[in-house]
A and B are shown apart, each in its own frame.
Chain A
Amino acid sequence: MPVPGKYLLLVEDLSDDQELALLALGAACTPVPVEIVRDGEAALEFLLAAGRSSARERAALPVVVLLDLKLPKVDGLETLRRLRAERRTQSLPVVILSSSKSDLDLRESYRLGANSYVRKPVDFHEFRATLQFIGRYWVEVNESPPQGWKTPIPGTPPAR
């Protein structure tokens, strides 16, 4: 049974990887609806414009964004930075899904506020298990932050 209203946004330019991700998530016990965009610009458009345009005002954010780092136009790190700068998406869960395990990518991702960093395994069994695990966790286990929740800057007193 799909969980109503919950979906996952995949930002991925390679159609192979898109399809593999759909295969993996589609084969899960609880299939999760997936929206796909092909680059960072489209992702920002999707997530931010969705909030501004009155027609889609009510449209809910995805439970999690699976963000590739190597993307055309606006790359993954830049996308993440801009999402964190916007009130609406400031605390939106973002999982970096990358081929690289470069220390620099890892450090930058967390510095810019990624919630998790996952390396895409070459082996399909692992790949599938990993994606299903991520889907289950964010869709079924994790409670999303409330709409409009503003992540406090550490060390500042809570707003009344």
Chain B
Amino acid sequence: MNGSARDIASTDESASPPAPEEHAAQDRVSILIVDDYPEALLALQAMLEGVSRHLVLAHSGEEALRCVLREDFAVILLDVLMPGMDGFETATLLRRRERSRSTPIIFLTAANRAEEDVRRAYHLGAVDYIFKPVVPDILVSKVMVFVELARKTALVREQVARLQRSELDRSRLSAIVESCDDSIVGCDLEGIVQSWNAGAERIFGYPAHAMLDRPIAVLVPPDRPDDIAERIRALRRAEPRRTLEATRLTADGRRIEVSSSMSPIRDGSGALIGVSLVARDITEQKRAATALHDAMEAAERANRELEAFSYSVSHDLRAPLRAIAGFGQTLVENYGPRLDEKGVHYLERMCAASRRMGELIDDLLELSRLGRACLRSEVVDLSRIAAAIADELRRAAPDRTVEFAIAPDLTVRGDPGLLTCLLENLLRNAWKFTGRHPRARIEFGVERAAEGPVFFVRDDGAGFDMAYAEKLFAPFQRLHGEDEFEGTGIGLAIVQRIVHRHGGRVWAQGAPEQGAAFHFTLG
């Protein structure tokens, strides 16, 4: 209903582009034509079609005012003689509006009223007038002037905006450069400093005014080759750039280590005009790295010493033991009859002690070897290994009643040799410490925990007092006497070392005569 009324009113408008923001582009210049005669409007539209593609038509002063609310016009053609609000009134109101305050207005006026109208028109700030009936050529050439003017104005405005934007970029960039912790220095191709940020002042100790227009080479220690000049030359030869570490001299004569990279500065045509040097103070890092390297070397030296030590332990400590054991035994065998019972007993104690010391030495060596052996990573079937150990134990003591419960298919990634050694120690312990019970049950299984699988070896044997649970893993620590259960006390230390080398942890649970459980993870 009111839709149809609007349709008619806006027939002409619909020929013009709708949204004002689309007029931003400089070639989209709009012209507003105001005339109460539709025929006149159509005629004017036809004449100006070649000048601009955006012609907005208005049938009255009121409509014209609405149009200028929506968009900017390069020029307004305004009929003077209109019913209701006439051209002059319209122009007066147009001038009051912000958007159309300085839009050029060309009045269309009848020739017979020329003198009077022209005077008023100029008074109202019109820029030109055209007599009716309109001569197309004159109309086009006059309108063309303003269209061109509008185009140029748009162009200038855009350039100004772009300039402002790049000014903003520039100040943003220089704010970043200034606030950067790294030293950022611009040089020309002769290595003369052109810019010097706060980071450079902080790192090298020179304020900007002390360095501007001075050669950057003052930062290079005199006894070092001038890497900066060398790199500028390399950049000119278009060689690939790389970051390097260099020694620099600060204002107060300290030597610092920097990591330094250089990039080219080019002008608009791409010609190399200077370089930008970014440097970071890595003195502390270098010091830390050197310290680490020293520490590692010391550790390696210690390791080598340990190796030499255990080698000589195994040779030199064992030789006298062999002599004690050997001669003692020979004494027992060859001269035993001449000794009384006590004498033989003492001699046998000596031999037993030397044998035991031999075992202790062997175990100690084994433990130190484990710490150094390199780790393999393979899929290892723990269940199969456990079953094989159980078989061996049963075969060695067929008269014992021991039930083994081994969970099937427990596989892990790890070192097969070390993991066998681990299970061997735990299962042999379980076997040993159940030895005083008429029947026993030994279990190998897994529990699923948040940290991953937790394996365990559990028995129902002698157990131990939890107060000492931590101690068990230290070398030579035993909770049971040698005459109760034989052993050297190195087994669990070996177990712990193997577990740690796999990135896991191991812990013990037990109670006297209630059995023991050893849990471990493998990383």
A133 sits at the interface (CB 8 A): no
Are B325 and A122 neighbours in the complex by a CB distance under 8 Å?
yes
Residues of A within 8 A of B325 (CB): 122-124, 127
B315 sits at the interface (CB 8 A): yes
Q: Which of B326-334, B405-413, B479-487 contacts A (4 or more CB under 8 A)?
A: B326-334
Q: Nearest A residue to B314 by beta-carbon distance?
A: A100
CB distance from A101 to the nearest CB of B (A): 8
Q: Nearest B residue to A16 by beta-carbon distance?
A: B323
A98 to B316, CA, bound (A): 11
Residues of B within 8 A of A160 (CB): none
Are B323 and A99 neighbours in the complex by a CB distance under 8 Å?
no
Instruction: Type the 1/0 row for B424-460, where 1 means its CB is closer than 8 Å to any CB of A.
Output: 0000000000000000000000000000000000000
A127 to B330, CA, bound (A): 12
Instruction: Type the 1/0 row for B147-177, where 1 means its CB is closer than 8 Å to any CB of A.
Output: 0000000000000000000000000000000
Q: Which of B314, B320, B355 contacts A123, CB < 8 Å?
A: B355
Residues of A within 8 A of B358 (CB): 122-123
Q: Which of A20, A99, A121, A124 contacts B315, CB < 8 Å?
A: A99
A121 to B354, CA, bound (A): 12
CB distance from B373 to the nearest CB of A (A): 9
B507 sits at the interface (CB 8 A): no
B255 sits at the interface (CB 8 A): no
Residues of A within 8 A of B319 (CB): 14, 16-17, 99
Q: Nearest A residue to B356 by beta-carbon distance?
A: A122
Q: Which of B314, B327, B357 contacts A99, CB < 8 Å?
A: B314
Q: Which of A17, A70, A100, A102 contacts B322, CB < 8 Å?
A: A17
Are B315 and A17 neighbours in the complex by a CB distance under 8 Å?
no
B394 sits at the interface (CB 8 A): no
Residues of B within 8 A of A125 (CB): 329
B311 sits at the interface (CB 8 A): yes
CB distance from A96 to the nearest CB of B (A): 13
B321 sits at the interface (CB 8 A): yes
Are B326 and A124 neighbours in the complex by a CB distance under 8 Å?
yes
Are B318 and A127 neighbours in the complex by a CB distance under 8 Å?
no
A123 to B325, CA, bound (A): 6
Q: Nearest B residue to A102 by beta-carbon distance?
A: B311
A124 to B354, CA, bound (A): 10
Q: Which of A20, A98, A102 contacts B327, CB < 8 Å?
A: A20
A23 sits at the interface (CB 8 A): yes
Residues of B within 8 A of A102 (CB): 311, 314
Are B326 and A100 neighbours in the complex by a CB distance under 8 Å?
no
Q: Nearest B residue to A20 by beta-carbon distance?
A: B326
Q: Nearest A residue to B321 by beta-carbon distance?
A: A122
Q: Which of A70, A120, A123, A124 contacts B330, CB < 8 Å?
A: A124
Are B329 and A70 neighbours in the complex by a CB distance under 8 Å?
no
Are A122 and B318 neighbours in the complex by a CB distance under 8 Å?
yes
Beyond A16-B320, A99-B318, whether A23 also contacts B330 by CB under 8 A is yes
Are A127 and B311 neighbours in the complex by a CB distance under 8 Å?
no
A7 to B319, CA, bound (A): 25
Task: Tell me which of B329, B351, B354 has the highest count of chain A C-beta atoms within 10 A of its own C-beta.
Answer: B329
The 6 closest A-B pairs by CB, nearest first: A122-B358, A16-B323, A124-B329, A124-B326, A20-B326, A99-B315
Residue contacts A-B, CB under 8 angstroms, 28 given? A14-B323, A16-B322, A16-B327, A20-B326, A20-B327, A23-B326, A23-B330, A70-B315, A99-B318, A99-B322, A100-B314, A101-B314, A120-B318, A120-B322, A122-B321, A122-B322, A122-B354, A122-B355, A123-B325, A123-B355, A123-B358, A124-B326, A124-B328, A124-B329, A124-B330, A127-B322, A127-B325, A127-B326
13 extra A-B contacts, CB within 8 A, seeds A122-B322, A124-B326, A127-B325: A14-B319, A16-B319, A16-B322, A16-B323, A17-B322, A20-B323, A99-B314, A101-B314, A102-B311, A121-B322, A123-B355, A124-B325, A127-B326
Using CB atoms and an 8 Å cutoff, list the residues of chain A in contact with chain B.
14, 16-17, 20, 23, 70, 98-102, 120-125, 127
